[in-house]
Amino acid sequence: GESVGLHLPTLSVQEGDNSIINCAYSNSASDYFIWYKQESGKGPQFIIDIRSNMDKRQGQRVTVLLNKTVKHLSLQIAATQPGDSAVYFCAENIGHYKLSFGAGTTVTVRA
Amino acid sequence: DADVTQTPRNRITKTGKRIMLECSQTKGHDRMYWYRQDPGLGLRLIYYSFDVKDINKGEISDGYSVSRQAQAKFSLSLESAIPNQTALYFCATSDRDTEAFFGQGTRLTVV
C-alpha cells in the first residue's frame, strides 16, 4: 500500500550544524504534509506544514522542502541545538485530514 | 492546562480485561483521533471522528471500539485486551484544515 517513509532512522549532528531529515512518500494524491517533533515522554508536536501547491516553506530555524517530482519531503533545522534532540516524523494527509506517518528519525545533538 | 488530556497516563492490565482510555480536549475542535505507536513505527490510525455522530475506522481498528460522548470527549476501549495491544496510545484533535494536536499519550501494557 501507499505509505510515508523516512530515509534514515537515526541522525547524529554536531551542535550548531544544520540538520537535514528526509522523507519519501508514495501517495501522489497527497495535498498536505506535516513535520512533527516528539520528545521523550511526550506526544508529537507540530513543527511546520506545507501544501502540495508549494515547494518550500520556512519557519523559525526550520525549512520544509517538497519535491513532488520525486515525492520527497525534507526538514532542515538551522543551527541545531541540544533541545532539538527528538524523534521527527513526517506525515501526509491521506484524505479528510487523516494522517499517515513515517517511522520517524531520531536526531541526537552532540555537544 | 493541556489542550488535549489523556487518562490514564500509564496502565498495566491483564489479558482478557476490558479497559477504556479517555481523551478530552479544550480546543473546541470537531475532529478527534486515536493513534497507536509501537517502537520503530510511526503512529497508526485506529479510529477517527469528525463530529459527535460520525465515527470511522482507521487502518488498525480490529480489537478496539470508540465512543464520542461529546464534542470534547473521545474514548477508546479494548474489549478484551491482548498482549500485542501493548503500545503507546495517542489522542489527537484537529480543526478542518489544520494540523492535529496530540495528547501526552497513554502507555498501556497488557500482561
The model's pLDDT over B2-47, given as tens digits with 9 standing for 90+, comes to 799 999 999 999 999 999 999 999 999 999 999 999 987 889 999 9
Q: How high is the pLDDT of residue B11?
A: 97
Query: What is the rounded CA–CA span in Å between residue A79 and residue B53?
Result: 47
**Closest C-alpha to A89, from A22, A16, A18:** A22
Best A6, A10, A98 residue to mutate vs chain B (most B CBs within 10 Å): A98
- Interface contact A104-B97, CB threshold 8 A: no
Contact B102 A45 (CB under 8 A): yes
pLDDT at A4: 60
Q: What percent of chain A is modeled with pLDDT above 90?
A: 69
- Name every chain B residue with its beta carbon within 8 A of the beta carbon of A89: 42-43
A37 touches chain B (CB under 8 A): no
Q: Is a pLDDT exceeding 60 seen at residue A1?
A: no
Percent of chain B past pLDDT 90, that is, above it, reads 88
Average pLDDT over residues A5-28: 87
If you count residue pairs, one on A and one on B, with CB atoms under 8 Å apart, how many are there? 54
State residue A3's pLDDT score.
46
The closest of A62, A55, A71 to A23, measured between CA atoms, is A71
Partners of residue B104 in chain A, C-beta under 8 Å: 41-43
Q: What is the per-residue pLDDT across A32-83, written as a single tens digit (0 to 9) for each?
A: 999 999 999 899 999 999 999 999 999 999 999 999 999 999 999 999 999 9
